[in-house]
Amino acid sequence: MDENDVKKLWIHCNRCYKQYVHHKETSGSRFFLLACQDIACDKCVEAAPGRSPSDAPIYICPICRCKVRGRQINNAMPYHLKSLFHPEPWLDELRNEAIAGFQRKHMNRFLKYCQEKEKEVQKVDSDMTLALTACQKLYLELEQARQIRRQLENRAQQIKQQIKNNSHIRKYLYLIKWSRYSKESSARRTC
Ligand SMILES: [Zn+2]
Ligand SMILES: [Zn+2]
């Protein structure tokens, strides 16, 4: 972006806030200065049909809904309209309150829009931080849950082992009992 473009940053569609310097003719967008002093891009302004095809088009301003004449913003504009876009209206020979007022109005409008966008970005940013914190909390909880699960698995393993050991003992006890019983019964038989 050259220095000249920087001085035109304030020129924007008053409805969709598309900027002239980023979307001028090369990218296919056209911008119109309407007689109500609003600026609109070709996507946002409607042309109302004139009484005859040769009539200069009348536009319906998307901002104030006036039916007005308009001129495309380009080098072919008549001087009195082109001067509204002069990059340095404060130069002595051009000092003109109307031009400065026009540019100030549009600049303030655009700055206000930028501030609103900035606020939206900050909101998204803080939402992201909140979401991240929530994720970290969930992650920690998940880690704790995993540890608990591991402990429970170990405990279950120990219990299983104990049951297995117990069944050895039970079998052993049973065998002892059985052998005693068989000894006693054989002793009874021999009597
Ligand atoms: Zn627009
Ligand atoms: Zn208007």
Tell me if 25 is assigned to some domain.
yes
Positive/negative CA dihedral, 151, 154, 155, 156: positive
Tell me if 131 is assigned to some domain.
no
Tell me if 147 is assigned to some domain.
no
pLDDT at 155 over 60: yes
Tell me if 102 is assigned to some domain.
yes
pLDDT at 19: 92
pLDDT at 26: 58
C-beta neighbour count of 63 within 10 angstroms: 17
- Minimum-distance ligand to the CA of 20? 1
Which residues are found with C-beta within 5 Å of the ion, ligand 2? 36, 38, 61, 63-64
**What pLDDT, in 10s, does the model give residues 9-23?**
999 999 999 999 887
Mean pLDDT is lowest, of 10-14, 106-110, 161-165, for 161-165
Q: Is 58 helix (H, G, I), strand (E, B) or coil?
A: strand
Burial 72-98 (b: 16+ CB within 10 A, else e): ebeeeeeeeeeebbeeebeeeeeeeee
Tell me if 136 is assigned to some domain.
no
- Minimum-distance ligand to the CA of 41? 1
How many domains would you assign to the chain?
Answer: 1
Mean pLDDT of 79-98: 78
DSSP string, 2-38: -HHHHTTTT-B-TTT--BHHHHSGGGS--EEEETTS-
- Minimum-distance ligand to the CA of 60? 2
pLDDT at 22: 83
pLDDT at 32 over 80: yes
pLDDT at 25 over 70: no
Tell me if 42 is assigned to some domain.
yes
24 and 17 Cβ atoms separated by less than 8 Å:
no
pLDDT at 178: 86
Q: What angle do CA 65, 105, 84 make, to 5 degrees?
A: 90
**What pLDDT, in 10s, does the model give residues 174-185?**
888 888 888 888
Tell me if 13 is assigned to some domain.
yes
Tell me if 181 is assigned to some domain.
no
Query: If you measure from the C-alpha of residue 39 to the centroid of ligand 1, how many angstroms do you get, rounded to a whole number?
Result: 9
pLDDT at 53: 64
Range of the domain at 71: 3-122
- The model's confidence at residue 92, banded by pLDDT at 50, 70 and 90, is low
